[in-house]
Amino acid sequence: MSRVVITGVGLTSPNGNNLSEFRKALLTNKSGITHEEIRHVGKVAAGVCDFDEFKYQKKKTRKRGTRAGSTAIYCAHEAVIDSGLDFNEADKSRMGVYLGITEHGNVETEQEIHDLYNDHEMDVTLWSHHHNPRTVSNAPAGEVALNMKITGPAYTIGAACAGGNMGLIQAYQMLMLGDVDFALAGGISESVRTFGIFAAFDSQGALGKHDNPELASRPLDENRNGIVISEGGAIFTLERLEDAEKRGAKIYGEITGYHTNSDATDFVLPNSERQIQCMQAALKRAKLDFKDIDLVNMHATGTPSGDTIECEAVSSVFGYSENTYINCTKGFIGHTMGAAGALELAGNLPSFEDGVIHPCKKIENLDPKCSLKNLVNGEPLKKEVNNILNNSFGMLGINSALIVSKYIK
């Protein structure tokens, strides 16, 4: 039976535009959250990426496309370069693009509406003819395929904030089925550039706020008050092991287990029982005991109910393990929505090589309901890491757990 491995990583985050920068930021307590002025909302904490949109595409193409698409194009090229694949000689018909998303096209659509009301005197004949391709559901993956001339399957997986994990799971399945030989997979988000998502979370009382923006996202802290909205992307190159070995590729890790399920209980409130079932099913698929997991990266959004429910689930599955350590990432970068699972996995992948677990951003006042055993808080922890479980959950009750293991021949 084939094995699927990760051979390349391309990313942009609020605190780094490649894996090396991102990892260093996580190990040195560097936040990427700043105060930004958002139209109609005002000054809010947000995580904004600063990558070169025109490094791999022309300005004319960017004008036709989307912020999500430009993020995906940047990450995809960076991942392919990192993989060492001779891309020009590769069979593009045997490549797949699978990107998890929460939303896309909103940035440009909001701008069109703004222009319609303010500059175009409600003359809809001036509405952009680029609107339709920008907003179709496959847009970010399609923009990657167009840019890189990939003729294999290219589509998105709408899975809310579980999207990053789901992109990887889809790619794994397609590689195992033999539908493709090489996959670009992960998650993308442009959320920070649209006012609607800020207004909606604010109306829920779930928008993270603080006079110091670096303290606005405080997962597991007793004084946390909500989500900090961020943008970003992380795309991995995935291959069957025999193909990666044949070309002498560097292997970051091997996908060994996964599971996804649905709460079927509420639009936004998570369900700890379903999260427990999801993690346990992923362990079963990987043929691992809970004590075999060295690191659990929590979804940990920074909302009072979300953090508490997930901590209950993680404690239920791993509470008796002395070997399993726990961290979370959103304190550094905020919530990158559809990119979250992929970015957070990327930040932990180097643990296989350097034997260090990055901490949660320092939690000053740990919520007693979130007092987990072996929580890595504030300072990196030296530890051999062989198996990582990555949690990623989303609205409408979608749950995902992905297990990546250290590659062993």
Find out whether 213 and 34 touch, Cβ atoms under 8 Å.
yes
Spatial neighbors of 203 by CB under 8 A, at least 6 apart, are none
Q: Is the pTM above the cut of 0.85?
A: yes
Residue 235, pLDDT score: 98
Helix (H) or strand (E) holding 346: helix 340-348
Q: Is 75 a catalytic residue?
A: no
Spatial neighbors of 149 by CB under 8 A, at least 6 apart, are 92
Alpha helices (runs of H) in 195-271, residue ranges in sequence order:
195-203, 241-246
Q: Which of 77, 104, 259, 335 is catalytic?
A: 335
Report which of 10, 21, 32 is spatially closest to residue 330, judged by C-alpha positions.
32
Residue 237, pLDDT score: 98
Q: Which of 77, 104, 259, 299 is catalytic?
A: 299
| Strand pairing category for 154-158 and 95-101 | parallel
Phi/psi at 185 (nearest 5 deg)?
Answer: -145, 145
Residue 125, pLDDT score: 82
Residue 91, pLDDT score: 98
Residue 117, pLDDT score: 83
Phi/psi at 39 (nearest 5 deg)?
Answer: -55, 130
Residue 104, pLDDT score: 77
Q: Which of 161, 278, 311, 370 is catalytic?
A: 161
**Residue 84 burial class via C-beta count within 10 angstroms: exposed 0-12, middle 13-18, buried 19 and up:** middle
Phi/psi at 121 (nearest 5 deg)?
Answer: 50, 40
293, two tokens? 């997991």
For residue 321, give the amino acid letter.
Answer: S
Distance CA 102, CA 91 (A): 30
pLDDT tens, the chain, 409 aa long? 799 999 999 999 999 999 999 999 999 999 999 999 999 999 999 999 999 999 999 999 999 999 999 999 999 999 999 999 999 999 999 999 999 999 877 888 888 888 888 877 788 887 788 888 888 889 999 999 999 999 999 999 999 999 999 999 999 999 999 999 999 999 999 999 888 999 999 999 999 999 999 999 999 999 999 999 999 999 999 999 999 999 999 999 999 999 999 999 999 999 999 999 999 999 999 999 999 999 999 999 999 999 999 999 999 999 999 999 999 999 999 999 999 999 999 999 999 999 999 999 999 999 999 999 999 999 999 999 999 999 999 999 999 999 999 999 8
Find out whether 326 and 300 touch, Cβ atoms under 8 Å.
no
Residue 110, pLDDT score: 84
Token pair 């589509």 is found at 155
**Residue 91 burial class via C-beta count within 10 angstroms: exposed 0-12, middle 13-18, buried 19 and up:** exposed
Domains of the chain: 4-246 (3.40.47.10), 257-405 (3.40.47.10)
Distance CA 289, CA 153 (A): 35
Residue 214, pLDDT score: 97
Helix (H) or strand (E) holding 174: helix 163-177
Helix (H) or strand (E) holding 82: helix 67-83
Helix (H) or strand (E) holding 24: helix 19-27
Alpha helices (runs of H) in 84-156, residue ranges in sequence order:
106-118, 131-135, 139-148
Convert the pLDDT of each residue in 253-289 to its tens digit: 999 999 999 999 999 999 999 999 999 999 999 999 9
289, two tokens? 């005991």
Residue 114, pLDDT score: 85
Find out whether 287 and 298 touch, Cβ atoms under 8 Å.
no
Report which of 184, 207, 175, 1 is spatially closest to residue 80, judged by C-alpha positions.
184
Q: Is 40 a catalytic residue?
A: no
